[in-house]
Amino acid sequence: MALPIVAGAAGTAAVAAYLNAKFHILYDLRNDRGGLAPDQKVLDYIGDRVANKRVLTYHVFEDHALRKQPNHPFLIFEGKQWTYKQFFDCICKVGNWLMNDLGVQVGEMVALDGGNSPEYLMLWLAIDAIGAMTSFINWNLTGAGLVHCVKLCESRLLIADTDVRSNVEPCRSELEGLGVDIKYYDPAYFESLKDFSRIPESRRENVSVESVRGLIYTSGTTGLPKGVVMTTGRELLVGHMTAKYLRLTPKERMYTCMPLYHGAAHGLCMTPTIHAGSTVVLGRKFSHKTFWPEVAKGKATIIQYVGELCRYLLNGPKNEYERAHCATMAWGNGMRPDVWEPFRERFGIQTINELYAATDGLGATFNRNNGPFTAHTIGLRGLLWNWKYKDQEVRVKMDVDTEDIMRDENGFAIRCGTDEPGQVLHKLTPETLAGVPGYYNNDQATVNRRITDVFQKGDMWFKSGDMMRQDPDGRVYFVDRLGDTFRWKSENVSTNEVSDMVGKFPQIAETNAYGVSIPGYDGRAGAASIVLADGVTESTFDFRGLATHARATLPGYAVPLFLRVTPALEYTGTLKIQKGRLKREGVDPDLVTGEDKLYWLPPGSERYLPFTKKDWEAIKDKSVRLT
């Protein structure tokens, strides 16, 4: 009987393997809702932290510094290293300065403005230690944007790095008129502080998981930045669970040059590293010249990326350290499909760990990718996920012109089918509403992210603002930001798809696709702002070849009708491409700023030609019809 039993077992294993491959059962079991859904162990961990009144990131840091591994490296920055205990002592003396010299109270909001540095981290954790809250200001801001953020958070203090003095000083009179006291810091000043006394636990003992821990600001691409509330509980949960998802141990070293004021470096690098007792290799800012040398010399095993950082590296010159490093994983979000495999191959990065998440959003998806099946995706959904969560997270069809949800004859939303792009919505209930991210002192913006009567009267959902699609194999793809997708010839055009395809033309280094309004036409016509590759000039650029390439790789309605040749694309501080000014200026030659040159693809033409004022007038008076 042994042989049939063995044969039966082998057959069962084969069936199980087939079912797992087809329905991604093991993936769903390991990742549950998306990778950061708390299981009972996590809930027990949070409960223990609450019971012992140790819910702050500072508390986790203190555990390592005073008990678990005081002599383990915490931070490496520009050739200098701090152990957990050494950095803890720095936190204490900065905390005492905040309490005793500046009079910062428990529960007070402190505006922090500075670039990546050890001193910035000391301030962040010291503010945490004294039971205050941090408003993480984008150090690139000046003028109205800076004043807006400081005013919004209602801080009486703006503590700024001397390196950003040139951004702060033009606003001094206006800030002081609001009652804001400006204090500058630098390494020498913090080195002079000598009070290493421990911060009293009484400063922290009444901090609850529901309390505000800090504000992280949106990029401000659609107006002035909004302050997203980071609660104590959310910071604790995200830090702990991200460390678990990444399987971080003390031996790991994560490199980031992303700005610490942003949620990516804050919640996806710093806090999980602290929870795991790992080491941070910190870059002051992104630079082609310093990226790989810092990764290699800091012996980083993980590199963090955001947005177009990977494309920058791929387009950059060869660096002697670009393969002479220890990094085996790239962790982040926003890597485009045309960069994915070339990045892996050139730099020898085995694992690309792509995620989708937002500081002011709900839900997250994760893709630990090592091969072709899930390349270019942000996640994978199997049979169990669809059975368990299909009514909690949905994709709905959108009118991309009005940005309204499309409704059926009964007035309810229409779900997307396989491979149909739609906005992702997350179901809200009275129980989950309290945990939904909100905007500080901006109730209207918070309410605007919610929508009711979606599938039935009285239901409530959270709008992600992002378009995604899911293919027949359960792979999830990011399509576009809702405001970036546009309609032309009654078809929806994904700016990401256009950028990816146009960007593959060998004479182009970077592409930013967008839609422009044209008088007398519904929807928006496609345009692409392009940066020419090194050594290519407008006189040597193959405008005929680009037209042929675009028509061969894109649907006719998605082929850009206009080109804007520019020396450089505009990015946010977190390397996200800016489209706002380009969309506002459109293709009216009188509105186009700078030295950019416009080209267009006239009806019947086989090449892009210079676009002039005469051509613009011909389009407006309809003597030329766009096709």
Share of the chain above pLDDT 70, in %: 93
Amino acid type, 118: P
Any bridge partners for residue 477, and if so which?
Answer: 469
- Identify the band that residue 28 occupies on the pLDDT scale cut at 50, 70 and 90: low
Helix, strand, coil shares, percent, the chain, to 5: 35, 25, 40
pLDDT above 50: residue 37: yes
Measuring CA to CA, which residue among 361, 350, 257 is closest to residue 309?
257
Q: Do domains 40-285 and 481-620 have the same CATH topology?
A: no
Q: Are 154 and 178 in contact (CB under 8 A)?
A: no
What would the pLDDT profile of 532-555 be if each residue is shown by its tens digit? 999 999 999 999 999 999 999 888
What would the pLDDT profile of 290-304 be if each residue is shown by its tens digit? 999 999 999 999 999
What would the pLDDT profile of 595-610 be if each residue is shown by its tens digit? 999 999 999 999 999 9
89-98, 176-185, 207-216, 374-383: which range is least confident on average?
Answer: 374-383
- Residue 33 has a pLDDT of 58
* CA 356 to chain CA mean position, Å: 8
Residue 44 neighbours by CB under 8 Å, 6+ apart: none
Sort residue 204 into left (φ over 0), alpha (ψ -120 to 50) or beta: alpha
- Residue 20 has a pLDDT of 47
What would the pLDDT profile of 205-261 be if each residue is shown by its tens digit? 999 999 999 999 987 655 678 999 999 999 999 999 999 999 999 999 999 999 999
Please state at what angle helix 232-246 crosses helix 40-51, rounded to 10 degrees. 140
Share of the chain above pLDDT 90, in %: 74
Any bridge partners for residue 161, and if so which?
Answer: 185
> How is residue 66 written in tokens?
């005073």
pLDDT above 80: residue 512: yes
Measuring CA to CA, which residue among 40, 36, 579 is closest to residue 358?
36
- Residue 6 has a pLDDT of 44
Pick the CATH number of 481-620 from 3.10.440.10, 3.20.20.70, 3.30.300.30, 3.40.50.200: 3.30.300.30
- Identify the band that residue 7 occupies on the pLDDT scale cut at 50, 70 and 90: very low
Task: Report the distance separating Cα 469 and Cα 406, nearest Å.
Answer: 16
Measuring CA to CA, which residue among 496, 472, 475, 455 is closest to residue 417?
472
Measuring CA to CA, which residue among 450, 467, 446 is closest to residue 459?
450
Residue 407 is classified by DSSP as B
Half-sphere exposure of 514 (CA within 13 A, CB side): 22
Q: Are 273 and 254 in contact (CB under 8 A)?
A: yes
What would the pLDDT profile of 395-428 be if each residue is shown by its tens digit? 999 987 778 899 999 999 999 999 999 999 999 9
pLDDT above 70: residue 19: no
CA–CA distances in Å: residue 309 to residues 201, 295, 374, 573: 41, 14, 21, 11
Give the ranges where 132-248 is alpha helix by DSSP (H). Answer: 143-153, 165-168, 172-177, 187-192, 232-246
Task: Report the distance separating Cα 413 and Cα 395, nearest Å.
Answer: 10
- Residue 382 has a pLDDT of 85
pLDDT above 50: residue 590: yes
Average pLDDT, stretch 88-102? 98
What would the pLDDT profile of 144-161 be if each residue is shown by its tens digit? 889 999 999 999 999 999
pLDDT above 60: residue 44: yes
- Residue 521 has a pLDDT of 87
Residue 411 neighbours by CB under 8 Å, 6+ apart: 453
- Residue 280 has a pLDDT of 98
- Residue 144 has a pLDDT of 87
Give me the architecture of the 40-285 domain, per CATH: 3-Layer(aba) Sandwich (3.40)
pLDDT above 50: residue 287: yes
Q: Are 439 and 227 in contact (CB under 8 A)?
A: yes
CA–CA distances in Å: residue 398 to residues 163, 405, 496: 45, 5, 17
Measuring CA to CA, which residue among 4, 261, 294, 244 is closest to residue 146?
261
Average pLDDT, stretch 187-198? 97
Residue 251: CB atoms within 10 A of its CB come to: 11
What would the pLDDT profile of 342-361 be if each residue is shown by its tens digit? 999 999 999 999 999 988 88
Q: Map out the domains of the chain as residue ranges.
A: 2-31, 40-285, 383-465, 481-620
> How is residue 64 written in tokens?
């390592």
- Identify the band that residue 531 occupies on the pLDDT scale cut at 50, 70 and 90: very high
- Residue 30 has a pLDDT of 60
- Identify the band that residue 372 occupies on the pLDDT scale cut at 50, 70 and 90: very high
Output the CA angle 543-546-551, nearest 5 degrees: 130
Mean predicted lDDT score pLDDT of the chain? 91
